[in-house]
Amino acid sequence: MLKVENLSSGYGNLEIIWNASFHVDDGEVVAILGSNGAGKTTLVRTITGMVRPKSGSVIFNGEDLAGKSSRTILDHGIVQVPEGRQLFTEMSVYENLEMGAYNKETKARLGESLEFVYRWFPKLKERKNQAAGTLSGGEQQMVAVGRALIGLPKLLILDEPSLGLAPNIVDDILSVAHSMAKEQGISVLLVEQDITKALRMADRGYVVENGKITLSGTSRELEENEHVKKAYLGI
Ligand code: ATP
């Protein structure tokens, strides 16, 4: 479904991502792992059109989307849940969710999409009239994921969903993401610093170090890799 080939990007003259190649298949959960500042966010922002690629391709269902606008990429079904959630804190949960319907199709299907989101996150239905800024961190992350689901993703990108959340809430969010992939066929690209949790829920993963993909494998292979153990798992 997604095939990224030799992708390079950065900011101005500053090159951050160097020749990244990876893929995500239908219904797969793939983790992009790495420490602070490794370039994970820049990599996914290049895929979603927020950072311009310098070279390389982003093939999505057979079409090269590299360098296309964010809007075009959204229309193709690549929807990102941004790092830090980026909700409209003064607006209600419902209004934030509604923002996920940005084009004709997603607007037409808003009613059924809302029911879908409320089924996965019943708390959001209870809180639908509450200002998003007054929710707990975990609930806010649910709104951010819910808003992305309203955009009818074929590929859902989660950027650091665990940031600032209690471990049990992280498990809840990741388990919904896992079910999205396995039950709904929505592929998931998960960017995480919490490597233990990410590998527990992903099928495969890639390690990013200094803007380069240095390792790849199934979650099991990465968990057992000596470099991953030493550098990231502290064992
Ligand atoms: P984190 O987990 O902390 O978000 P990350 O792996 O996602 O880290 P990036 O946010 O992609 O890393 O940052 C990679 C590098 O790019 C860092 O050195 C950062 O300072 C730089 N960078 C990020 N955004 C910009 C920007 N808008 N302009 C210039 N440099 C940037």
Rounded Cα distance between 47 and 138, Å, is 26
- Which of 9, 18, 32, 41 has most ligand 1 atoms within 8 Å of CB, for mutation? 41
Rounded Cα distance between 125 and 93, Å, is 9
User: What whole-number percentage of the chain has pLDDT above 70?
Assistant: 100
Contact 206, 215 (CB under 8 A): yes
Q: What's the mean per-residue pLDDT of the chain?
A: 95
Q: Residues 96-132: pLDDT tens digits?
A: 999 999 999 999 999 999 999 999 999 999 999 999 9
Rounded Cα distance between 179 and 5, Å, is 28
Q: Quick one: pLDDT at residue 144?
A: 96
Question: Which amino acid does the sequence have at 2?
Answer: L
Task: Kindly state the average pLDDT of the residues 154-163.
Answer: 94
Burial of 27 (0-12, 13-18, 19+ CB in 10 A): middle
Q: Quick one: pLDDT at residue 206?
A: 98
| SS3 at position 32 | strand
User: Would you say residue 1 has pLDDT above 90?
Assistant: yes
User: Would you say residue 164 has pLDDT above 90?
Assistant: no
Tell how far the Cα of 211 is from the centroid of ligand 1, in angstroms: 10
Task: Kindly state the average pLDDT of the residues 201-210.
Answer: 97
Q: Quick one: pLDDT at residue 121?
A: 94
Tell how far the Cα of 38 is from the centroid of ligand 1, in angstroms: 7
| Ligand 1 atom, smallest distance to 34 CA | 6
pLDDT bracket for residue 94 (50, 70, 90): very high
Of 20, 50, 49, whose CA–CA distance to 32 is shortest? 20
Q: Domains in the chain, ordered, with CATH?
A: 2-77+153-233 (3.40.50.300), 87-151 (no CATH)
In the 8-state DSSP scheme, what is residue 230?
I
Q: Quick one: pLDDT at residue 85?
A: 87
Q: Residues 42-60: pLDDT tens digits?
A: 999 999 999 999 999 999 9
Q: Residues 65-88: pLDDT tens digits?
A: 999 999 999 999 999 998 888 999
